[in-house]
Structure 1
Amino acid sequence: MTTWEPKSDLHHYLRVAREALLWKLDGLSEYDIRRPRTPTGTNLLGLIKHVATVESGYFGNVFGRPFAEPLPWLDDDAEPDADLWATADESREEIIGLYHRVWAHADATIDALALDAAGEVPWWPEERRRVTLHRILIHVISETNRHAGHADIVRELLDGAAGLRADHDNLAPGDQAWWEERRLRLEQVAQAAGQSEPRP
């Protein structure tokens, strides 16, 4: 019989989400990992940089265990949302390396503290800023999975690659023709629903 261990389970889900997000960069050029594919500029390497920044704060300062490296895009005079894109001088290796070092720091915090360990999120409203490791784990898992979903869409827009993980794509079986037919059918359904919508 498997014993449910809440902290181990939560930590596992965080690790899976990290790997799923990072995998979306595999096989792409420096250009493609930076390409803004939405009107707000969402791009793959920027998502990695952002999630690394998020983890460094939530598993660092929140529990009095600050991440040792400076993150200049968080400085008061930094451009807004500077953590959501990588400059031409910030290489893939640098951003991924940062993410791995943040993982190690976050994992050390998770290993060292109990789920009910208290922390404080200074950037949250006063009435909500006192938290536990349990709450922060859930928050960061949610944040990482949200951005992994963004990465799914961005990657599919770049080169058509889709799927949950390298070892399990979680997609219906079908070749390119099947997917094209499916998309066409969904478009037809959408048009039919739009035509039947009452006009103002």
Structure 2
Amino acid sequence: MTDATQDPTPVLQGERGEPLHALSEQRELLLITVRGITDAQAAQRATASDLTLGGIVKHLTRGEQVWMQIMTTGNGKLPEGMLDMGQYRMADGDTLAGLLEQYVAAARTTAQAVSDLRDLDRSVPLPSTPWSPPETVHWSARRILLHLIRETAQHAGHADIIRESLDGSSTTDRR
């Protein structure tokens, strides 16, 4: 495994590089937040929310996997596990190190998928979900990346609050 505090996103230029760089920055904040915690701490609920640090890493990993599948296949089908609520918590046998390996792999897959695109204007149909409007919605690859940036930033903030609740440490303390 690569160092869990290092996002493996390659440096790309132009329209692909900027959103990947922004996503990488948000991943880095999350990776700093989970640095030095145990598996028990990663699975521990520390706030009124059911979210845990390990659950956040697992969810963001699954999110990148799902959105890259949606973006690259362009078939509008619901990826397996997209709505699985188990993605929000560590399962028996999960380790933080294992979850981080999967997160790093998902980041590499995202970078490769984006670098393989002709441009970010590629439009794909979104899968139908219980909250979808009745008509098919299309998003560009650019909008999918913006969604991943927002989702990662939101959960990195949640993770920082959880970490502070666990041991009083904040992201700025761990940089």
Q: Same fold (TM over 0.5)?
A: yes
Aligned to 1:94: 98
Give the aligned residue type for 1:136. I
Aligned to 1:107: 111
Aligned to 2:72: 63
Runs (4+) off by over 3 Å: 123-128, 164-167
Conserved 8 A contact 1:59-1:65: no
Shift of the 65–94 alpha-carbon distance from structure 1 to 2, 3 Å rule, reads: farther
Whole-Å separation in 2 of the counterparts to 1:81 and 1:46: 10
1:45 is aligned to 2:50: no
Aligned to 2:162: 154
In the superposition, the TM-score normalised over structure 2's length comes to 0.79
1:137 to 120, 140, 145: 145
Conserved 8 A contact 2:120-2:142: yes
Conserved 8 A contact 1:60-1:106: no
Give the aligned residue type for 1:88. D
Percent identity (aligned): 26
User: Secondary structure in 2 aligned to 1:119?
Assistant: strand
Whole-Å separation in 2 of the counterparts to 1:137 and 1:27: 29
Whole-Å separation in 1 of the counterparts to 2:85 and 2:82: 11
Conserved 8 A contact 1:47-1:84: yes
Higher Cα radius of gyration? 1
In the superposition, the TM-score normalised over structure 1's length comes to 0.70
What is the root-mean-square deviation of aligned Cα atoms in Å?
2.5
When the two structures are aligned, how many residues end up with a matched partner?
Answer: 156
Q: Offset at 1:126?
A: 4.7
Whole-Å separation in 2 of the counterparts to 1:118 and 1:65: 8
2:123 to 102, 118, 125: 118
Aligned to 1:5: 14
Give the aligned residue type for 2:169. A
Give the aligned residue type for 2:91. T
Whole-Å separation in 2 of the counterparts to 1:35 and 1:152: 14
Conserved 8 A contact 2:68-2:113: yes
Of the two structures, which has the highest relative contact order with CA contacts closer than 8 Å and spacing of 6 or more?
Answer: 2
